Every structure is written in C-alpha cells, then in structure tokens.
Amino acid sequence: MVWRFMTSPANWCGLAIAIAVVAARAAGVLGAYWWGSVIIGYLAGYWLGKTLFGDPQLVVTDLAALDEALADREKPEVMTQTLEALRTIAKSNVGKYFSPKQEAALTALTVAIENLHQEWMRSKRQLSMENAFVAERLATEYLPDTVRRFLAIPPKFAASKVIAQNKTATQLFDESISDMQRKVEQLQDDLAAQDAEAFANHAAFLNQKFAPTGSVTNMLTKEKSHV
C-alpha cells in the first residue's frame, strides 16, 4: 500500500510542485513563510495528479482481495472467491476505471462464469479436456489478468491513447470481455446439448425397458382397443 502510494502519479505530481516551491525559495523568490507554500503546492499537485490519473493506492485494496483469492489455486473455493473479488472491483469502481457499461459487462461475465461452473459440476464435468481447461482458466487466470492489467493504466490514457491494433486500451478491454462472454455462452451450450442428449438417451432407455408391458403409450392403446 505504502509503496503503491509513493510511486503513484498523484504523489509524484505533488512532489514535483513541492520541489519547485523549495527551488523558488532557494532562489530567493519566496519569503519567510515558504514552507506553507510547499504544503499547499504538494496538495495542489496531488489533487491534480489524482484528477488526471486516478487514485491507484485505493485500487490496490480491491486487488489485494483478488490476489488473496488466487493465492492458492488448488483450494475448492478459488473460483467462487475470485469471481466475488472481481465483482467487488467492478462495483466499487475506485478511480472510475470502468464506465457503467463496462461495470455491468464485467459483473455479468462473473455471474455467467459462476453459473457455468455450477452447471459443469452438476453435469459431472462432462466437458472436453480443452474446454475444461478454458472454463477453469477463465475464472482464475484470463479474466483476473485482464482486469489487473487494465487497472494498471490511467483511465484517461486508457480511453484516449491508441496502444495496439489501432485501438485504445478501453476498446481492447471491451473486446476481451465480449470474447470471454461468447466463450462462456459456447460452453453453456455444449453442456446443455450434452444434458439434452443424456436426457434423450435416458428416455430411450426407459421406453425400451418398459414399452413391452408398462409404457403409458401401450396402456392407452390397450384401453382404446377395449372401448
């Protein structure tokens, strides 16, 4: 926390102005009450830096919860805790890194991944090895890393500066969230198709097992034949 604060753009802006005031004093520009100007200069610089670049020393509090959730990736509750930490980051939105649309999209993605995980467990992990790998990494690697890297960029820079593929960091973040959302929907469809196939096979088994003597269809047919 302290190191994050010391290296934050807001602190550097404050120090820059404070040092400028000290230099002015050394040059004989300022009078006896120059020390008050140092304090005012630092506060003004810090406010300016925080306005331009956000307040990262507060963002790290949410990221600390995310790091704690991911500290032991072998624990059973790692996915649940990680997704909850990501929802907290989206909801608190310290530093205004996310637009309302991004906040909603990030929250919706965490819920979709959690629902996928629950369906996956209920279906006894009936996914291919590749899809199972992707499903786990979405919650514990791909999404957390995307959010962490996005939060490392000052919001105004992220929204205005082209960094790759002729796109800003904000645009790339939006695309990444959309890509992961589509992958989750694909995996959900795969699970649903497997469940539907399993149900169809079960229905066929029951029909084969009971059709000769006790199926509802045969009973109705017999009753009609007696009328």
- Residues 175-220: pLDDT tens digits? 999 999 999 998 888 888 877 777 788 788 777 777 665 544 454 4
Q: Say how far apart CA 14 and CA 20 lie, in whole Å.
A: 10
| Range of lowest pLDDT (29-38, 71-80, 207-216) | 207-216
pTM over 0.75: no
Q: What is the mean pLDDT of the chain?
A: 80
Q: Say how far apart CA 69 and CA 176 lie, in whole Å.
A: 22
Q: What mean pLDDT is predicted for residues 17-37? A: 77
Q: Say how far apart CA 85 and CA 207 lie, in whole Å.
A: 48
Residue among 84, 52, 54, 49 nearest 69 (CA): 84
Q: Say how far apart CA 60 and CA 5 lie, in whole Å.
A: 10
The better pLDDT of the pair 56, 131 is held by: 131
CA atoms within 13 A on the CB side of 116: 28
pLDDT bracket for residue 2 (50, 70, 90): low
Q: What is the pLDDT of residues 77-103, one digit of tens each?
A: 888 899 999 999 999 888 788 999 999
